[in-house]
Amino acid sequence: MSASGTAAAGQVEHMLRQVTPGRYDAYEALLQAIADPASGRLWMLLWHGQAGSPDAQYGNMEVDGVGYAPCVTSAQELSVSGWNRSHEVISGPDVARALFPERWGIWLNPHAPGGGVGIPWLDLRRIATGLDRMPAGPLRMSEPAIEIPHFYALLSQNAHRTTAVRSLRRAWVQPALGAPYLAVGLDLYDTGRQSVDAVRAMMQQSISAVPDGLPVSTVAMSDEYDPVTMWLRANARPFYDRDAHGGAPAAGGYGYPPPHGR
């Protein structure tokens, strides 16, 4: 390995050593190191096949009912681990894109004292799509306690005029890092460009009724991988429901995805 490659691997290992229970800032720094294509190089342990072969298959382990693929963070850790089968060296973003759709995470250095650190698939999704695009987990979610009836009334009125909208739900989201915010779940009949543009205009027309300083975000109810969407689907009733008003368009089609647990 080149000197730059050694330094890159060292960055992940340095961040890994900082992670302790409750240190969400250190865990987030570890995710950032893994998400960097230069520093986030991982040695994935292969249970079957050779690197690059069609029959290559990552190892697997289960912790608290959640699946992980074990890996190590450097050639030195590979040697220490005693792994005697093949392995594949791959960037963090590449392995994240490969694993999160199957709801698999990765487990870093499971041979290490203390058992290493697990990165669940929800955080692999953040690595794959951009850490700054989604809130840092684990998320605490609940029904919103803040009273903003004017905003909900205006949003419901504008939603009724926007025929792409089937229903709206809401949640109060507290990320592990950062400010809490109001999330609005958008269930649409279709997600074509015209519908998305109409819904974006609907939100812009309604946001003026939100009190200053209150962050508001939206999530798609069709996104089966989003933790806020999963919570909304399981726990929140719509505060606007076109079908309940008897106003569903004749042409439908975009129904609820099958429910999934966290």
DSSP 231-252: HHHHH---SEETGGGT---SS-
Domains recognised in the chain with CATH numbers: 3-133 (3.40.1350.90), 140-245 (3.30.70)
Angle at 197 between CA 193 and CA 200, to 5 degrees: 140
The whole-number pLDDT of residue 9 equals 52
The whole-number pLDDT of residue 33 equals 96
**Which pLDDT tens digit goes with each residue over 23-40?**
999 999 999 999 998 878
**Which pLDDT tens digit goes with each residue over 67-113?**
999 999 999 999 999 999 999 999 999 999 999 999 999 999 999 99
The whole-number pLDDT of residue 10 equals 81
The whole-number pLDDT of residue 54 equals 87
Cα of first residue to Cα of last residue in the chain, in angstroms, is 39
**pTM to 2 decimals?**
0.83
The whole-number pLDDT of residue 20 equals 92
Alpha-carbon span 45 to 112, nearest angstrom = 15
Query: Which residues of the chain are under the pLDDT cut of 50?
Result: 1-8, 248-262
The whole-number pLDDT of residue 260 equals 41
The whole-number pLDDT of residue 74 equals 94
